[in-house]
Structure 1
Amino acid sequence: MINVLAIGRNSYQNSLDLCVTSRALGASEITFIGKKDARLVNYINRMNSKWGGKFKVSFAKSCEEFLKTSDKAIKIYLTRYGTSFQEKSAMIITYKRIVLIVTDKEDVDYINKISDFKISITSQPHCRAASIAVFLHEYYKGRELAMHFENAAYKISQNGATEIKK
């Protein structure tokens, strides 16, 4: 189970990008810090009903509040200032319960302190959705690309046609 913890939200579209990227590539849930955005929840619920899966969007008042409920999960902070993912990947892929932390801020002291790993996807500027995508792809070793989403009403076939189940 991988839960993404997203700290800071710039725009609805930016938050939606984090949601759909996390969902499509194998995360179970994304939690945003701050006020609930019903549009995000509704969008993902509609996506789940059409495309399958049980991906969840949730909200917490603070990092501390959220992390108290995730104390048994390994906390991985994705930042360009961390240790190279390649250096730690063999160890990281052994963990099954992960909180993957992304933030729109350059440096967050609290997150630095509580993280089990500070991982750099690349040392160059990049967006949070890209870091999530690369991490999940490496974690699942490409298997996420063939993932089956249960109860999908829509399915893209190999020839590119959309099949709609009724």
Structure 2
Amino acid sequence: MQGEHDVVVCRLGHRPGRDERMTTHVGLTARALGADRVVFPKNAGQSLETVRDITTRFGGPFEAELDGEQGALIRDWEGAVVHLTMYGERVQDVEGEVREAHAGEPLLVVVGGEKVPFEVYDHADWNVGVTNQPHSEVAGLAVFLDRLFDGRELEREWADAEQVVLPEETGKTVVSPEELEESERDE
């Protein structure tokens, strides 16, 4: 299901045993930085379960799913397609164009894992590089989403959370939404 203004991240390829953490972090980054959904390859069930668990505990809305036909997802996408790669145009040179295109149609952001078939480069509306230097695809996704949303995703409100992390200089405090409301009333 595809909405008019959805941002969907497609994790292309997954090598079990080698990519578990990276694939999971692509999904968590997509969720935390404003995407509406992540699509993992069929063999990334562990990453799917982790992202769904985090969404349940820390809020949504956000969807995660498995798809064994990612090539078809990219080919049949009704909207703009951005492929994040170190061999692309500089993000700072195309971000306005991508943002403008996304204002009227859904956006698919493809994040490769293993060797990306040439068809992905060919089908993408933009092949976008963040620094054009070797680095993590998670870092590239984070920078791209922050640029796409102009930082607005950092102020996002989360619904239906079981837990809330309190921002603080040091330490780690996690409370229920009810405890948060109570502490805000007491201030």
Task: Give your verdict on TM over 0.5.
Answer: yes
Matched, 1:102 2:111: yes
Cα RMSD over matched residues? 1.9
Identical positions, percent: 20
Deviation of 1:138 after TM superposition, in Å, equals: 0.7
2:173 to 130, 138, 161: 161
Q: What TM-score do the two structures reach when normalised by structure 1?
A: 0.88
Counterpart of 2:185 in structure 1 is: none
1:3 counterpart residue number? 8
- The structural deviation recorded for 1:64 is 2.8
CA shift digits 1:11-49 (9 cap, x unpaired): 221211111111111111111233351x32322222122
Partner of 1:44: 51
CA distance in 1, matches of 2:75, 2:132: 30
State the partner residue of 1:15: 23
Indicate if the aligned counterparts of 1:44 and 1:55 stay in contact, CA closer than 8 A. Answer: no
Q: How many residues align?
A: 164
5 Å-filtered alignment, 1:33-112, equals 33-35=41-43, 37=45, 39-67=46-74, 69-70=76-77, 72-94=78-100, 95-96=102-103, 97-112=106-121
C-alpha deviations, 1:68-126, integer Å up to 9, x for none? 552x2200011111111111111111214110011124552110111111111111101
Aligned to 1:150: 159
The answer to whether the 8 A contact 2:75-2:123 is kept is no
**Alpha-carbon distance in structure 1 between the residues aligned to 2:53 and 2:128:** 33
Runs (5+) with no aligned partner, structure 2: 1-5, 179-187
Q: Distance in 1 between matches of 2:122 and 2:70?
A: 12
Is the Cα–Cα contact under 8 Å of residues 31 and 57 in structure 1 kept in the other structure?
Answer: yes
Which letter does structure 1 place at the counterpart of 2:14? R
CA distance in 2, matches of 1:129, 1:3: 15
* Structure 1 segments (4+ residues) deviating >3 Å: 158-161
CA distance in 1, matches of 2:11, 2:96: 25
Mapped contact 1:78–1:101 kept (Cα < 8 A): yes
1: distance between equivalents of 2:25 and 2:156? 19
Gapped regions of structure 1 (runs ≥ 5): none
- 1:53 touches 1:151 (CA, 8 Å); kept in 2? yes
